[in-house]
Amino acid sequence: MMTMKKSQRIIEEGVDARRRNYRMRRAGIAGLLLAGSATAALAADPAAGQQIFKAQCSICHSVAPGVNSIGPTLFGVVGRLAGSVAGFQYTAEHKKLGVIWDAATLDKYLTNPAAMVPDTTMIYAGLKDDAERANLIAYLQTLH
Ligand code: HEC
C-alpha cells in the first residue's frame, strides 16, 4: 500500500519530470540529455545495494571473512565456487551447483533461490526488481 506522502512525492516527481522534458525540448538537446540519463539508470549503485543487503540479507549473512551464521559468509563471494565455504553445511543440491558466482549467476540465484536450488535452506523469496538486484550485486562485488 502506498502512503499518501509517497504517492504525493511520485506525483510531484512526475510533474517535475514533465517540466524538465519541456525545457529540454526547448533547448533542443533532449536526445543528448536522455542518453545521459539512460546511462545513469544502467549504472548499478553499490551504496544502495548495501542498504538492501542490510535490510534483507544481513540477518543471515556476515560479510566478514570466515564468519558463518545461518548462511555462509559472503566475503569474497564474487569469483567463488558455489558451496565452497569451509565449515558451512550446504544442502546437497547447492553443493552440486558447480557454478562460479559472478554477476550473471548471482542475478539468476537472487531472483529466485528456490528455482535454482529446490532444496535450499535459504529462506528468501527472491529480489524481483532488476535495478535493485543490480545494485545488490554491485555491493557484493565490493566484498573482497
Ligand atoms: C533466512 C536466511 C537467509 C537470508 C535472508 C538470505 N540468505 Fe543467502 N543463504 C542462506 C543459506 C542457509 C544459504 C545456503 C543455502 C543452501 O545450502 O542451499 C545461503 C546461500 C547464499 C549464497 C550462496 C553462497 C555460497 O557460498 O554458495 C548467496 C550468494 C547468498 N546466500 C546471498 C544472499 C543475499 C544476497 C541475500 C539477501 C538478498 C540472502 N542471501 C538472504 C540464508 C539466507
Q: What is the pLDDT of residue 120?
A: 97
Pick 102 or 38 by higher pLDDT. Answer: 102
Nearest CA to ligand 1 atom 7: 122
pLDDT, one tens digit per residue, over 46-67 is 999 999 999 999 999 999 999 9
Q: How far apart are CA 92 and CA 84, in angstroms?
A: 12
Query: Under a CB-based contact definition with an 8 Å cutoff, are residues 96 and 118 in contact?
Result: no
Q: Residue 11 pLDDT > 90, yes or no?
A: no
The 3-state secondary structure of the chain, one letter per residue: CCCHHHHHHHHHHHHHHHHHHHHHHHHCCHHHHHHHHHHHHHCCCHHHHHHHHHHHCCCCCCCCCCCCCCCCCCCCCCCCECCCCCCCCCCHHHHCCCCECCHHHHHHHHHCHHHHCCCCCCCCCCCCCHHHHHHHHHHHCCCC
Nearest CA to ligand 1 atom 34: 57
- The label of the residue with cell 545495494 reads 49
Q: Report the separation in Å between the CA atom of 2 and the middle of ligand 1, taken as the mean of its atom positions.
A: 29
Pick 10 or 53 by higher pLDDT. Answer: 53
Per the prediction, the chain carries an average pLDDT of 85
CATH 1.10.10.10 fits 44-144, yes or no: no
Q: What is the pLDDT of residue 26?
A: 59
* Ligand 1 contact via 60 beta carbon (within 6 Å): yes
Task: Please give the average per-residue pLDDT across 32-56, as a whole number.
Answer: 75
Longest CA–CA separation in the chain, Å: 63
5-14, 84-93, 96-105: the lowest-pLDDT one: 5-14
Q: Domain ranges for the chain, please list them.
A: 1-43, 44-144
Residue partners of 19: CB distance under 8 A and separation at least 6: none
Q: What is the pLDDT of residue 100?
A: 98
pTM of the model: 0.78
Which atom of ligand 1 approaches the CA of 95 most closely? 17
Residue partners of 88: CB distance under 8 A and separation at least 6: 68, 71, 72, 73
* Ligand 1 contact via 70 beta carbon (within 6 Å): yes
C-alpha cell at 66: 570466515
